[in-house]
Amino acid sequence: MDLIFEKSRTGRTASDIPSVDVPSIPLEGLIDEELLRKDVDLPEVSELDLVRHFTELSRRNFGVDLGFYPLGSCTMKYNPKINEEAARLPGFTELHPYAPASFTQGNLELMYELRLMLCELFGMADFTLQPAAGAQGELTGIMICKKYFEKKGEKRTRILIPDAAHGTNPASGALCGFETVTIPSNGEGGVDIAALREAMTEAVAGLMLTNPNTLGFFEKNIGEVARIVHDRGGLLYCDGANANAFLGRTRPGDIGFDLIQLNLHKTFSTPHGCGGPGSGPVGVREDLARFLPVPRVIRDQDRYRFSEDYPDTIGRVKAFYGNFNVMVKAYTYLKLLGGEGLKRTSDMAVLNANYIKARLSPYYDLAYDRMCMHECVFSGSRQVRSHEVHTLDIAKRLLDYGFHPPTIYFPMIVPEAIMIEPTETESKETLDAFCEAMIAIAREAEENPAQVRGAPCTTPVRRLDEVLAARKPNVSWPGEK
């Protein structure tokens, strides 16, 4: 497909700009010569060519409105269209962040109420909505841990992280100056209790635990894990990026977690990808609330306002107040579903994942054979051993069957990992169609492995050299080198 620059013909235009009705003056002399742009070299195309170009591009893309999107550990929720309507209300989109509180009561109320709903759902005393992503929420949470020990006058230099964790966990620990110590998984894909007990000394600030973890398992020994960490004065941190497996069924605050970061863009809808938009609220138990970032939304009788009056705060972590549009969508989603609806959402997520696990387990090796939560993890090892077909080949072949591939090669402790998370709103027919494609590919791997290795063959581009694209990106304009 041609670039829009290649479609350009001098003089063609897709818009009519009215002629100026004020006197025009030359810019020479007013602006530095070297700052004056002479040859702008923008594409010049007609309206038809313009619309066709971008429509064609959009048809070569894949999105949730086109098909099933079973990406694991990155929860691509059902995103009700009413979320978009709500987020586009002019009262939300056309407000200046510096507008005085008297103009913004509705917005402040929404943030205040969202915070209360999250406290109730997760069993936490308080939440900040400021961080703009899960990773930034983690960083905020670990900064709070650090400040907590500083205030207590304790010097703790290490933080424990299971080997199944998302890469952002050790990164957040390291950014706060902690030495990160890896805790291995046990034979069931949970925390190895003996290893935890040994590593959890008084030099350790705490454990960052993802629950359910990236293998899709709820930590069976959570009570024991919490006891070990707390007995040594540590904090139990929950990476709650994918909390869609237990909403309304259990609360991290009730089972021993002291603080948690959520990913509103995963658990509470908002399509995300390619870096945003996100929102990573951090919830804390009562005695940690004084460390939360400022400004915070507070309520004086029936009025809302921002307050910076928290002397022990870790400070501000984001310009203004966070990604407000994501908060609007999460708020809409929560109100839309209510308590019972959220419970059902989680139940369906777990049911769907277990259905896929059961249907595919005769054809692919399971990383661990036990009940899963919202996602199930297979290994492509059998296909590698018998037919030299790798997980990457299977993922690429799925494109030919019209499905977005699941997450692959993560978690890293599973060789040739295939991590499938079916959205809770998908119908049985869709799940079956996906399973049948996976089964057909397993059969192809046996009978015609070259076909799988050569996939995809129906997409606009075949296999890209992803390393080259990352290492030597070509961002030049056409005609330049």
Residues 322-361 binding ligand PLP (CB under 6 A) are none
- Cα separation of 157 and 291, whole Å? 19
Pick one of 124, 135, 255, 419: the residue that binds ligand PLP (CB under 6 A): 135
**Token pair recorded at residue 169:** 């966990």
Dihedral sign (CA 159, 213, 324, 115): negative
**Token pair recorded at residue 125:** 């005393």
Nearer residue to ligand PLP within complex by CB, 411 or 456: 411
Nearer residue to ligand PLP within complex by CB, 247 or 435: 247
- Identify the CA nearest to 86 among candidates 333, 320, 349, 297: 333
Cα-based distances in Å from 83 to 88, 465, 476: 9, 37, 38
Residues 208-267 binding ligand PLP (CB under 6 A) are 210, 214, 239, 241-242, 263
Dihedral sign (CA 63, 65, 71, 75): positive
Nearer residue to ligand PLP within complex by CB, 410 or 434: 410
Q: Angle at CA 374, nearest 5°, toward 370 and 380?
A: 60
Nearer residue to ligand PLP within complex by CB, 133 or 236: 133
Stretch that binds ligand PLP, among 99-107, 118-126, 131-139, 250-258 (CB under 6 A): 131-139
- Identify the CA nearest to 380 among candidates 396, 401, 404, 402: 396
Q: How far is the CB of 156 from ligand PLP (least distance, A)?
A: 22
Number of residues that bind ligand PLP (CB under 6 A): 15
- Judge whether 168 and 136 are in contact, CB under 8 Å: no
Stretch that binds ligand PLP, among 6-14, 127-135, 405-413, 462-470 (CB under 6 A): 127-135
- Judge whether 138 and 278 are in contact, CB under 8 Å: no
- Identify the CA nearest to 379 among candidates 420, 436, 421: 420
Q: How far is the CB of 373 from ligand PLP (least distance, A)?
A: 12
Nearer residue to ligand PLP within complex by CB, 212 or 456: 212
Q: Centre a 10 Å sphere on the Cβ of residue 315 and count the other Cβ atoms it contains.
A: 11
Q: How far is the CB of 279 from ligand PLP (least distance, A)?
A: 8
Q: Which residues pair with 158 in a beta bridge?
A: 179, 204
Per DSSP, the three-state class of 250 is: coil
Per DSSP, the three-state class of 304 is: strand
Q: How far is the CB of 53 from ligand PLP (least distance, A)?
A: 31
Helix (H) or strand (E) holding 299: strand 296-300
Q: How far is the CB of 321 from ligand PLP (least distance, A)?
A: 17
Per DSSP, the three-state class of 175 is: helix
Residues 270-299 binding ligand PLP (CB under 6 A) are 278, 280
Residues 379-438 binding ligand PLP (CB under 6 A) are none
Q: How far is the CB of 301 from ligand PLP (least distance, A)?
A: 36
Q: How far is the CB of 419 from ligand PLP (least distance, A)?
A: 10
Nearer residue to ligand PLP within complex by CB, 138 or 426: 138
The contact pattern for ligand PLP, residues 76-115, with x = CB under 6 A and - = no contact, is ----------------------------------------
Q: How far is the CB of 377 from ligand PLP (least distance, A)?
A: 13
Q: Is 133 in the site for ligand PLP (CB under 6 A)?
A: yes
Q: How far is the CB of 240 from ligand PLP (least distance, A)?
A: 8
Per DSSP, the three-state class of 450 is: helix
Q: Which residue has the tokens 């330049």?
A: 480
Nearer residue to ligand PLP within complex by CB, 166 or 396: 166
Q: Centre a 10 Å sphere on the Cβ of residue 19 and count the other Cβ atoms it contains.
A: 6
Nearer residue to ligand PLP within complex by CB, 241 or 289: 241
Nearer residue to ligand PLP within complex by CB, 210 or 269: 210
**Token pair recorded at residue 35:** 């700052």
Nearer residue to ligand PLP within complex by CB, 226 or 238: 238
Do β-strands 158-162 and 204-210 pair in parallel, antiparallel, or remain unpaired? parallel
Select the residue whose beta carbon is closest to ligand PLP and give its number.
Answer: 134
DSSP code for 157: -
Sites of contact with ligand PLP (CB under 6 A): 73-74, 133-135, 166, 168, 210, 214, 239, 241-242, 263, 278, 280
